[in-house]
Amino acid sequence: MKSLSFYRILILSFFLLTTHCSRSTDENTVVLRLDGDDWGIYFNDNADILSNEFNANNLDITTVPSNFRNLNKSYRGAIWIRKGFEITTEQHQKSLALQLGKIYQSDEVFINGVLIGKNNSAFGKDPDEFAFGRPRIYPIPHDLLLEGENVLIVKIDSSLSTSAGVITGPIRIVTYEEALNGNLYDSLVELIFVGFYLFIALFFFINFFNLRDKKEYLSFSILALIFSAYELSKNEVRFFLINDFSILKFIEYSFLLILPYGFIKFIQDFFELKPFKYQRIYLLMQFFFIAVFAIIQNPVFWYNFIGYWDIHLLAVIGYAIYVTFNKFRDQTRGSTIHLLALVYLLYSILKEILIERGYLNSPSSLETSFLVYLILMTLALRFQFLIMKRKLQNRYERLKEADSLREKIFYYMDAMISGPLKLMKEKLISYRESTQKTKDKNLVKEVIEVQSSIDNVMDDIIELSRLEVLKEVPFKEQVNFISFINEVIPEDDITYSIKVNPETEIHNSLDLINSVVVRLVDFPPFKEFNHNDLIITQDLRGNVHFRFLLFHSNPKVSGRLFSDLVENYNTLTPVKVKWAIILEIVRLLGAKIDFKIIKKKYLKIDLGIAAIVPVSELQPITESQINSKSTTQKEDWKVTLKRFWKFLKETEIKLPNFKKKK
């Protein structure tokens, strides 16, 4: 349901946005378009405009569709509009219908002076008492149409305070079948949108039960549910369920009244805001208005009230934009997407208000804008969920690392400490059972030594366990290599020289580099060697190499250490733990370490670490580039090695130091 449903949402939404209003009408079904700016208008309660003797040249000219209330705001009588049209012989043979848009409030339609329908009901049927805002379809009796000139007259009566007239199209004569199909198509498209809103509401409602702390899921599903109910109560299909305009209009306005509160509540939950001071009073007011509508059962009163009430929707959107903009400045996650969705929604609400008042003759985009809003917020909520899931996964990984660390520490403690502890226990028992306490000083000394060895190895166990659970270097820095390494190498523990380009920089964990160099210098087995030299040099790619050259007069010592460094240990010792720490640091640094026996007595250890050198500086290193504090020895390590070997043969004594760094 989760990931699959999310992708279905995107696919379906893309389909709706790209196919909405894409239906084309066959040219053979449209007989005549009647909208335009050539209609005559007559403000008068008298029906003399229906007389054949009426002079149409005396009529004022207006545009249809439009809101006639804007032409004469104080007039409340009958409004007549008139237009002539011609029918050809071929058109006269078809079964035709007059298709008008949404009319406010009531209408009577005449062709050639004869009434053909009233309030969306064909002549001969009982007209609806209220039918404002519904599209009109009137079948045209074949006998009324004349081949040639015909006259269409529409009488409009409206007690609505803001609207009077044919507010929206289409206004045309089409085949009767096309009129029905077109009306049905528009209704089905709206139903697809409603179904999509319901799907989103259900999707987040189900997810809320799995994630009870995500209040925005619940408020978002309620918002989508309210809007889908509002749209469904406006659809023409509603009359197949309940053929009562007043009941359906009451349901429509009830959902409309509580929709802004649902919108505000979702924004507050989405951005984790507290309710504003009078928010509950605002909600109670909406329910109070619903109760008033239930008492005053007059759709005209409802419409007039909503005509003034809907202005405050701009304030609701303004509040949402203000909150979102503040969150955008604070770089709150999801604020950018919400701000984009709000801008389009504000545009659509303004457009809808202008359409309903007749100031704009354009298709409504309210359904599309709300669909875009739901899609964008679905994406935002989904991204938040993925981020939350990622955080939980990271937390799980940290807990897993902690468990792994604990297991490794216990393993090493058992391997490294259980033996000394057992030995300490035996010695303590012997000490207690001994009757010559004064003669057991050596036993006490041995116990203290065992305890000291445990203290020393514990630090290494914890460090090795910590390094083994790390997957990557936690923090990297970039510094000049030579300046850094001069501060790292212990001055009195090793003889070293640096042959590295002064411009070289290293980008890695400086703490780990420091640690591995110091651990190599202080590695206990290296202390057994007669001499330990370090040459820090660079390869052609600019990578830095720490090359340790260890000499021992006994070849067996060098061979034994070489074997110890490269073998897989079956048993642990304190020295092996220290070496394992070095290898773990090398792994985390992305470095490489090699070992080699030279002339049986020399052990060479090469630690390579990636470095950064400017392209212009990748060239042979001159004498002047060698660090002034380094040794005066300048030759390559191979040349140095040959010189040492020759010197040993001649003198048979230890190698002298190059130069001790001060």
User: Is 476 in contact with 509 (CB distance < 8 Å)?
Assistant: yes
Residue 481 is predicted with a pLDDT of 87
Running DSSP on this structure, what letter comes out for residue 276? P
Interatomic CA distance for residues 573 and 570, integer angstroms: 10
Band of pLDDT at residue 52, cut at 50, 70 and 90: confident
H/E stretch holding 649 reads: helix 637-651
Interatomic CA distance for residues 343 and 354, integer angstroms: 17
Q: How far does CA 564 lie from the centroid of its chain?
A: 53
Q: Where are the domains of the chain?
A: 3-15+182-391, 34-170, 406-469, 477-651
H/E stretch holding 207 reads: helix 176-210
246: its two tokens: 């007043």
Q: How many CB atoms lie within 10 A of CB 13?
A: 19
User: Is 174 in contact with 30 (CB distance < 8 Å)?
Assistant: yes
Interatomic CA distance for residues 441 and 427, integer angstroms: 12
State the chain's mean pLDDT as an integer: 78
- Domain with residues 34-170, CATH architecture: Sandwich (2.60)
Write down the pTM of the prediction. Answer: 0.59
572-603: per-residue pLDDT in tens?
A: 677 788 888 888 888 888 889 888 888 778 88
Residue 166, beta-bridge partner list: 103
> What per-residue string of b and e applies to 555-584 under the rule 16 or more CB within 10 Å gives b?
eebbeebbeebeeeeeebeeebbbbbbbeb
353-379: per-residue pLDDT in tens?
A: 777 776 777 777 777 787 788 888 878
166-204: per-residue pLDDT in tens?
A: 988 889 998 888 888 888 888 888 888 788 888 888 888
| Termini Cα distance of the chain | 71
Q: How do the residues of the chain divide into helix, strand and coil, expressed in percent and rounded to 5? A: 55, 15, 30
Q: How many CB atoms lie within 10 A of CB 553?
A: 14
Segment of 27-36, 128-137, 583-592 carrying the highest mean pLDDT: 583-592
Residue 654 is predicted with a pLDDT of 42
Interatomic CA distance for residues 217 and 235, integer angstroms: 27
140-159: per-residue pLDDT in tens?
A: 988 888 888 999 999 999 88
Pick 123 or 281 by higher pLDDT. Answer: 281
Interatomic CA distance for residues 334 and 611, integer angstroms: 40
Residue 655 is predicted with a pLDDT of 40
Q: Examine the pLDDT at 436 and tell me if it is beyond 80.
A: no
What topology is assigned to 3-15+182-391 in CATH? Rhopdopsin 7-helix transmembrane proteins (1.20.1070)
Residue type, 638: K
The burial of 441, by beta-carbon neighbours within 10 Å (0-12 exposed, 13-18 middle, 19 or more buried), is given as: exposed
545-566: per-residue pLDDT in tens?
A: 998 888 888 888 888 888 877 7
Q: Examine the pLDDT at 109 and tell me if it is beyond 90.
A: yes
Residue 122 is predicted with a pLDDT of 65
CA angle 145, 146, 150 (to 5 degrees): 80
Q: Examine the pLDDT at 66 and tell me if it is beyond 70.
A: yes
The length of the chain, given as a count of residues: 662
477-651 to CATH, choices 3.40.50.1820, 3.20.20.60, 3.30.300.30, 3.30.565.10: 3.30.565.10
Pairing outcome for strands 495-498 and 531-538:
parallel
386-421: per-residue pLDDT in tens?
A: 776 676 676 666 656 656 656 666 666 665 666 666
Residue 1 is predicted with a pLDDT of 42
The burial of 529, by beta-carbon neighbours within 10 Å (0-12 exposed, 13-18 middle, 19 or more buried), is given as: buried
Pick 383 or 524 by higher pLDDT. Answer: 524
Task: Reduce the DSSP state of residue 589 to 3 states and report it.
Answer: helix
- Region of 343 please: left (phi>0), alpha (psi -120 to 50) or beta: alpha
* Tokens 């390494």 belong to residue: 485
Residue type, 624: S
Q: Examine the pLDDT at 42 and tell me if it is beyond 70.
A: yes
